[in-house]
Amino acid sequence: MSASYQRMIFVCLNDRGEEHPKGSCSRSGGAELLDRLRADLHERGLKRVVRAVGTRCLGQCSHGPVALVQPEDVWYGGVQEGDAPDLIEGHVLGGNVVERLEIDPDKLTAAGPEEHQLPALDRGERPD
């Protein structure tokens, strides 16, 4: 039996300051989004199945507030507190990407796997 969550939702809470040209997820509603996701997950009995966590910069400031859902590796941008039910109903429970919030993969600022392929994790042999 695994003690891991089925999904993790990472919400950026980085604060670049008021004057930064890229903006800040924190200043555009990240904390409120995280609070709403946590409350809604708890209310639906999912807090041991799906974990919503706040994180520092995810490197997508111009798309903020940003939420990253793993293990599917789906990036959502411009996500507000009121969008939390759509993420939970559509993505978490429905298994569908919430297209209106998804950041176009071509607009993400991170390097793609084709640019630098890292090796897969080797956990070695595990006893049964």
* Predicted confidence (pLDDT) per residue in 14-35, tens digit: 777 677 667 677 777 899 999 9
Which residues lie closer than 8 Å to 113 by C-beta, 6 or more apart? none
| Per-residue pLDDT, 9 | 97
Pull the structure tokens for residue 122: 């080797």
* pTM metric for this prediction: 0.83
Sheet holding 74-76, edge to edge: 50-55, 7-12, 67-70, 74-76
* Predicted confidence (pLDDT) per residue in 73-128, tens digit: 999 999 999 999 999 999 999 999 999 999 998 888 865 556 667 788 887 776 66
Tell me how far apart the alpha carbons of residues 82 and 32 are, in angstroms, rounded to a whole number. 9
| Per-residue pLDDT, 21 | 66
- H/E stretch holding 9 reads strand 7-12
Split into its structural domains, the chain has a count of 1
Q: Look at residue 121 and tell me if it is in a domain.
A: no
CATH, residue 26: 3.40.30.10
Tell me how far apart the alpha carbons of residues 126 and 44 are, in angstroms, rounded to a whole number. 34
Kind of pairing between the strands at 50-55 and 67-70 = unpaired
Q: Look at residue 44 and tell me if it is in a domain.
A: yes
Q: Look at residue 96 and tell me if it is in a domain.
A: yes
* Predicted confidence (pLDDT) per residue in 61-70, tens digit: 788 899 999 9
Give SS3 for 57.
coil
Domain carrying residue 70? 7-106
